[in-house]
Amino acid sequence: MDDSKKYSKTYGFIKNIAFFGDADITETNETYTDAFKLAETLAKEGYVIVDGGGPGVMEAATNGAKKGGGKTITVTFDPTNAPGFEGKYVGNVPDQEIVTTNYIERMFKLMEMGDIFIMFKGGTGTISEFGTAWVLAKLYFGCHKPFILFGDFWIEVIDVMKKNLNIDSKEMSVFEIARKIEDVPAIITKFEKSISKRPYCSID
């Protein structure tokens, strides 16, 4: 497909979509299935799917995007002293792999590569990525990258945070919760419209 036509349905600010979520799930898990189907759907629209190169949601993102005929990028690292990390994973084979040296570099490279982030259910790794995306959106508000929280469970998570932490309305405006796959394209379009009204800026 010609690049000039890939993003005809949007303003073209969002091209790379980074997926985050649980590494410790299999193909039978609902979260895996959702990530696969969503990646497939978005790839068919011409979006590039970016993930961390591991199993679980990351594998689902790459394989779903491939089924949808889209381009895939992974950002990986192979630590020697991190036994809790999922490690190099041969089941996730992208079109392009970017290799980093440690977890922090990998996470920030994923944030750099994605124009928008989608957060699925996960564990401590997903919490760190969610928190990083959120604080960066606050720090660079107006030039920030938005994100989508996928799944009904996020409603309760965010509600608890609002009740017990100091979260302001500006921080609440940088993300949307998607309850189902069909909600995501419309949310992306909403963020595209918002970005189109911004003055030119860069957070690199």
pLDDT above 90 coverage of the chain, percent: 80
Q: Which CATH architecture has domain 13-195?
A: 3-Layer(aba) Sandwich (3.40)
31 vs 201, higher pLDDT: 31
Close Cβ partners of 131 (under 8 Å, ≥ 6 residues apart): none
Asked if 129 and 103 count as a contact pair (C-beta separation under 8 A), the reply is no
pLDDT at 80 over 90: no
Task: Give dist(CA 55, CA 118) in Å, integer.
Answer: 16
pLDDT at 104 over 60: yes
pLDDT at 2 over 50: no
Task: Give dist(CA 185, CA 150) in Å, integer.
Answer: 12
Asked if 16 and 113 count as a contact pair (C-beta separation under 8 A), the reply is yes
For position 7, what pLDDT does the model report? Answer: 39
3-class SS letters over 79-109: CCCCCCCCCCCCCCCCCEEEECCCHHHHHHH
Q: Mean pLDDT over residues 21-31, rounded?
A: 96
Residue 145 tokens read as 């990258």
Q: Mean pLDDT over residues 116-120, rounded?
A: 98
Whole-structure pTM value: 0.90
Name the residue ranges covered by the structural domains of the chain.
13-195
